[in-house]
Amino acid sequence: MLYDQVLQATKKIQSDTPLIPQVALILGSGLGDLANEIEQAVSIPYEEIPHFARSSVVGHAGRLLLGKLEDVAVVAMQGRFHFYEGHSLSTLTLPVRVMAMLGARILLVSNAAGGVNPNYRAGDFMLLRDHLALPGLAGANPLLGPNDERFGPRFPPLAHAYDADLCQLARSVAATLPELTLHEGVYTMVAGPSYETGAELRFLRIIGTDAVGMSTVPEVIVARHMRMRVLGVSLITNTATGEESAEIKHDDVLHIADAARVRFAALVRGIMRGIA
């Protein structure tokens, strides 16, 4: 059933453009402006693609774009789906399978995250070295249920989920951008949509979290199931050490993301040039 849904969505997109993407982009909260820099872009609203969900979160435009970025053929999600919106994990990750079916062999996934590491500041970036999937460890895994070998193996390894060569490329690009601070660390996914309590944030730090958010990990799991190479980048939008006196609001996240969009675009464009 899922395989048929992926095929139907793929065929719809292929009927709109003959482009075969090399890289898939998932643009997180407030980072979707990069999609406007894609050249010769074909834009397809999610509601026109069979079996795609609708993005209901402010800061997520809800459309798929196919075109060129630094002469690399790309497919970009301008807005993603979240577990807390009530979507099943198979629905949430269906676009990753579609983008792989279209031809993309690399996934660059971004998100907005809270900086649990006390050395992180709002506006910094973090390269994902690894992740903790708290919902997944509790049973909410996108690969739950019968496995379809046409997608990938029953037990895909995730010990090296984030591609070493792509991470090195990102480090090299960041080194040429003096206005950009790029940390490396562990991203932890929580289900949301409520922000964490102080006690929860202190617990996350104890177990090795550097940044926390409500997305990304299911998409990475499915990308690896589809044998895609993965690079992950978090924009740190606020400190989240558990000692903060002020409460974080989603508008604050979008404000920081807007201020960082030029630096984010420079980082991604540099990575694309390296891939090209």
In the residue annotation, 214 being an active-site residue is answered as: yes
In the residue annotation, 87 being an active-site residue is answered as: no
Q: Which residue in the list 140, 141, 250, 259 is annotated as catalytic?
A: 250
Q: Which residue in the list 9, 24, 29, 174 is annotated as catalytic?
A: 29
CA distances from 17 to 65, 103, 230 (A): 10, 13, 25
In the residue annotation, 112 being an active-site residue is answered as: yes
In the residue annotation, 215 being an active-site residue is answered as: yes
In the residue annotation, 29 being an active-site residue is answered as: yes
Cβ atoms of 50 and 138 within 8 Å: the answer is: no
Q: Which residue in the list 90, 110, 111, 215 is annotated as catalytic?
A: 215
CA distances from 167 to 122, 130, 161, 200, 271 (A): 22, 11, 11, 29, 10
In the residue annotation, 189 being an active-site residue is answered as: no
Q: Which residue in the list 161, 189, 214, 228 is annotated as catalytic?
A: 214
Q: Which residue in the list 53, 73, 85, 126 is annotated as catalytic?
A: 85
Q: Which residue in the list 84, 147, 200, 266 is annotated as catalytic?
A: 84
Q: Which residue in the list 90, 101, 238, 257 is annotated as catalytic?
A: 238
In the residue annotation, 250 being an active-site residue is answered as: yes
Q: Which residue in the list 35, 53, 73, 82 is annotated as catalytic?
A: 82
Q: Which residue in the list 60, 87, 131, 183 is annotated as catalytic?
A: 60
Q: Which residue in the list 24, 77, 99, 112 is annotated as catalytic?
A: 112
Q: Which residues are catalytic?
A: 29, 60, 82, 84-85, 112, 214-215, 238, 250
